[in-house]
Structure 1
Amino acid sequence: RSAGDIKALGDRTITRDCDVIQADGGTRTAAITGAWVALSRACKYLIDEKVLKENPVTGQVAAISCGVFEGVAVLDLDYAEDSSAEADANFVLSSDGRIIELQATGEQRPFSDTEFAELMRLAKHGCAQLFEAQRKATS
């Protein structure tokens, strides 16, 4: 919703549903990033078929996981890192760098403002790469 114009859909509803059957590491965030690609392609198809007059997708959305593992901030945690992380966070960001959704947990200990800032920096860097991949997938 935060990267789209719902009114441009008119009386239509588009449901993006991702069944994450075995979630580990960044599986959920990958589903969010992929769902944006599916939505973008679906809307392009509806425009090409003259079902929609304008594109309701107004911006990109990508998500990535980060965490503090063995005292170091890590981008895109794998299963081993995620299951042993001292802290972890999932960032859903817009392509202009704003936060759409954020979930962060001190799993084994509280984490500091400095560690959070490093996680945010890593998330923005990782999402920039995801936004580029999305652009390639939808062009």
Structure 2
Amino acid sequence: MADSKANDAERERSFGRAFDEMRPVQLTPNVMKNADGSCLAEFGDTRVLCTATVEEGVPKWRRASHGCGWVTAEYAMLPASTNRRSKREYNGRKGRSMEIERLIGRSLRSVVRMEKMGEITITLDCDVLQADGGTRTASITGAWVALHDALMGLVRANKINRLPLTGQVAAISAGIVDGRALLDLDYPEDSHADVDLNLVGTDAGGIVEVQGTGEHSTLTRAELDQLLDLGQAGIARLVELQNNVTGFRL
């Protein structure tokens, strides 16, 4: 009986979730007065502030693109976002932060027609207020909302003719923990996952990027398919939540 109770405790997930359920997700737009677009993305106890800034001009290397715009991102974890203070990255950016912000930028650009933007740059700043796993996936999901609102502002100001978006993009994590495939890992699950996977996808069901690692074991093709199925179901739910706060329609 004691062993049975211990096994049940091991299977207990945060927020009493089933294996295929996400943490409670909240996307709150327009949280920053001075940003051109903003969204507070909350995945359970993970909270990321995503802001969009529109600037005239494009990077020097982009100027030969004949009127195309640019979308880029920056990512940082605030010092008190984890249980031990992390130092600010004034000099020498951490490899992890650079990898995540490049992922965010690639993900957003996958659904933007930059040739319809004109020579403007939109920077998405994703600042982690509180980290409990899935900060990169929350960043991508919230950054799309901030990007949408910044672009809508350009439309309303008659700076571009129409919204240059081809669709939505969102992201979610999945993994194998103690032999079980789980959706949306929190930090305790992520920190001892056998396999960890991040999936970026679109509202049309397309896959933008898959980041998967066998942390402590390999995985079979069937297990990979299961994780992808879990992830795409989660992305469909996130896309719905994005729609709820933006009213986006092609």
Q: TM-score range by the shorter chain?
A: over 0.9
Percent identity between matched residues is 50
Indicate whether 1:89 and 2:197 are aligned.
Answer: yes
For each residue in 1:106-137, what CA deviation from the matched residue of structure 2 results, as whole angstroms up to 9, or x when unmatched? 00001111110000000010000000000011
Q: What residue in structure 1 maps to residue 208 of structure 2? A: 100
Q: What residue in structure 2 maps to residue 56 of structure 1? A: 164
Q: Any unmatched runs of 5+ in structure 2? A: 1-108
Q: What residue in structure 2 maps to residue 137 of structure 1? A: 245
**Offset at 1:25?**
1.6
**Offset at 1:17?**
2.3
SS at match of 1:53: coil
Higher Cα radius of gyration: 2
**Offset at 1:19?**
2.9
Q: What residue in structure 2 maps to residue 80 of structure 1? A: 188
Q: Distance in 2 between matches of 1:5 and 1:62?
A: 17
Q: Figure out how many residues of one structure are paired with residues of the other and give that number.
A: 139
Equivalent in 86, 108, 113 of residue 5 of structure 1: 113
Equivalent in 69, 75, 88 of residue 177 of structure 2: 69
TM-score by length of 1: 0.95
Structure (1 or 2) with the greater helix fraction: 1
- Partner letter of residue 54 of structure 1? R
Name the Cα RMSD after superposition: 1.2
Q: Any unmatched runs of 5+ in structure 1? A: none
**Offset at 1:23?**
4.4
Q: What residue in structure 2 maps to residue 31 of structure 1? A: 139
SS at match of 1:14: strand
Q: What residue in structure 1 maps to residue 230 of structure 2? A: 122
Of 17-26 and 47-56, more deviation after overlay is shown by 17-26
Higher relative contact order (CA 8 A, sep 6+): 1
Indicate whether 1:14 and 2:115 are aligned.
Answer: no
**Offset at 1:20?**
3.4
